Amino acid sequence: MDSDLMKAKELLLNSNHTCVLMKDGKCYFSDHRGVKPLLQWLDDGIDLRDFAAADKVVGKAAAYLYVLLGVKAVYARVISSPSIAVLEEHGISVFFETKVDAIRNRTNTGLCPMEQAVKTAQSPQEALIMVRQALEKLK
């Protein structure tokens, strides 16, 4: 685990942040849940190439968004098996505490809506469209 990822992980674990991105002392973080912060950074055009990311929960949707953001490594407290495959397929290093088959929704009654939305996605671009469509339906 490189120093950027170790710093991001440490900040994540010692704060109320939901995700932390770090590169050469430059840090971005969010307290929002789900894919919201990742979409916001993507939409704002923030250059996060080669940043290390530490996140509380990484499902397949978040994994595809991290690919689009260009991060080099991801640490997750909880990660789904499909998201590990996505990250590794795109050359992103993956570290985690707990691996699950799929990310569950917040009431634990089924799949997370974002995990469900990108279940059949085959590319980051396709996943981004599916995430945006799912978020529109949830409004």
pLDDT tens across 68-80, in order? 999 999 999 999 9
Q: Are 133 and 117 in contact (CB under 8 A)?
A: yes
Is pLDDT of 139 > 90?
A: no
Which amino acid is located at 52 in the chain? A
Structure pTM? 0.96
Per-residue pLDDT tens over the stretch 95-138: 999 999 999 998 999 999 999 999 999 999 999 999 999 999 88
Q: Which of 39, 44, 58, 47 is nearest to 99 (CA)?
A: 58
Q: CA dihedral in degrees (50, 54, 58, 1; nearest 10)?
A: 70
To the nearest whole percent, how much of the chain has pLDDT over 70?
A: 100
Element (H, E) at 56: strand 52-58
Pick from 83, 72, 88: which is nearest to 35 by CA? Answer: 83
Tell me which DSSP letter residue 103 carries.
Answer: P
Mean pLDDT of 45-74: 97
pLDDT tens string 22-37: 999 999 999 999 999 9
> Residue 101: its pLDDT value, please?
95
Mean pLDDT of 54-65: 97
Q: Give the pLDDT band (50/70/90) at residue 55.
A: very high
Residue scoring higher pLDDT (5 or 1):
5
User: Across the strands, what pairs with 53?
Assistant: 21, 74
**Which residues are 106's β-sheet partners?**
none
Does 1 have pLDDT greater than 90? no
